[in-house]
Amino acid sequence: MLTVAVTDFLAGLRLTGSQRVLGALALALAESMDAAPPYAKGRIAHELREILVELSKAELAPGNLDLLQGIDL
């Protein structure tokens, strides 16, 4: 379930350079968390959250803001 959410988040972004690596890592962590035993999920969630916070900055990059032009919010 988490993998689907992370995939949707990443699909809406134009990632460049190291952001692509972070995106791949976020997806791998989400897949790992979906399959992990309960005692391991906390550590994986912490790492995933840090990466997603970094990637959320990409939403404000000019290339991603251009995606919103023409959309009425």
CA distance 17 to 32: 24
What are the residue ranges spanned by the domains of the chain? Answer: 2-68
Write the single-letter amino acid at 38. Answer: P
Span 9-44, pLDDT tens digits: 898 788 888 889 999 999 999 999 999 999 999 999
Q: Contact at 8 Å (CB) between 48 and 70?
A: no
Residue (of 32, 14, 22) closest to 53 by Cα position: 22
- Quick one: pLDDT at residue 12? 79
Mean pLDDT computed over 45-49 = 95
pLDDT > 60? residue 53: yes
What pLDDT band is residue 51 in, cutting at 50, 70 and 90? very high
User: What is the rounded average pLDDT for all residues in the chain?
Assistant: 84
